Amino acid sequence: MDLGLAGRTAIVCASSRGLGRACAQRLAEAGCTVVINGRDRERLTVTAVEIAESTEAAVIPVVADVATAEGQAALLEACPNPDILVNNNAGPPFRDFRELDREAMIAGVVANMVSAIELTQKVIDGMRARRFGRIVNITSGSVKMPLAGLDLSSGARAGLTAFMAGVARSVAADGVTINALLPGVFATDRLQAMFSTIAAKRGVPVDQVEAERVATVPARRLGDPQEFGAACAFLCSAHAGYITGQNLLIDGGAFPGAF
């Protein structure tokens, strides 16, 4: 399917690896010029080269922390008028909520709620003026089904979800959509790190923790980041202009609800 995105520009935050990278890859395949982002310069450079070589798209790497004003400024200097913004950032580490102090809680809310709102504030009026814009917030399946140990991540992302619900309706008439993608368990470095933490606390092999988690997924497998990226690209496409204010759960059927 032609997504109608050839010639569009996109900023994909936290995209040197994992789900962010998969989204950047799929948008580049659709013909977008893509600004990718990460804090590890070496990894980001390798990712930019790999995406550019596999898609022949223009890929612009920006080393920055999207949770900071300086990092956001660097992204917008590289792409002042993006047609697409994919908000993404690493979540707080797996931790018992009793271990969270005020500083950690504020940092988690800034990283997983405030930074996405700030970037949206900076790009949305340009999108409205051009009568086209796509904003996709990568949150988490834990927004709908919270997991103990990821309480800070769940809370911050749920706050972003509620905040953006009203914003989405306010700009829909201008051709701008805002949606969220809620990943379940995907084969990413972050998930493996979480499995390792759980395994260490329980004193069991990492493979056992992974197998137990996969057993809770009706699809009986981890998600492939590339299928997540494909969903992101569709939400950004010319065909998705009537989809806004929605939260698309991609979890292999793990959430046991009809709605």
**2 found inside a domain:** no
- Containing H/E element for 161? helix 151-171
Distances from the Cα of 87 to the Cα of 96, 142, 181, 197, angstroms? 26, 17, 10, 26
Q: Are residues 105 and 209 in the same domain?
A: no
Q: Are residues 103 and 143 in the same domain?
A: yes
Q: Are residues 134 and 168 in the same domain?
A: yes
Q: Using alpha carbons, select from 26, 122, 141 the residue that is nearest to residue 66.
A: 122
Q: How far apart are CA 247 and CA 163, in angstroms?
A: 13
- Sequence-ordered list of residues with C-beta below 8 angstroms from that of 25, at least 6 positions apart, any chain: 51, 54, 55, 226, 229
| Domain count within the chain | 2
Q: How far apart are CA 107 and CA 196, in angstroms?
A: 23
Q: Are residues 136 and 201 in the same domain?
A: no
pLDDT per residue as tens, the chain (259 positions)? 899 999 999 999 999 999 999 999 999 999 999 999 999 999 999 999 999 999 999 999 999 999 999 999 999 999 999 999 999 998 888 788 999 999 999 999 999 999 999 999 999 999 999 999 999 999 999 899 888 888 999 999 999 999 999 999 999 999 999 999 999 999 998 888 888 888 888 999 989 999 999 999 999 999 999 999 999 999 999 999 999 999 999 999 999 988 8
- Position 37 scores a pLDDT of 95
- Position 92 scores a pLDDT of 83
Query: What's the domain range around 198?
Result: 187-222
Instruction: Identify the CATH number of the domain in which residue 132 sits.
Output: 3.40.50.720
**165 found inside a domain:** yes
Instruction: Specify whether the CB–CB gap between 228 and 22 falls below 8 A.
Output: yes
The alpha-carbon radius of gyration of the chain (Å, integer) is: 18
CA trace torsion 202, 205, 211, 212 (10° rounding): -10
**259 found inside a domain:** no
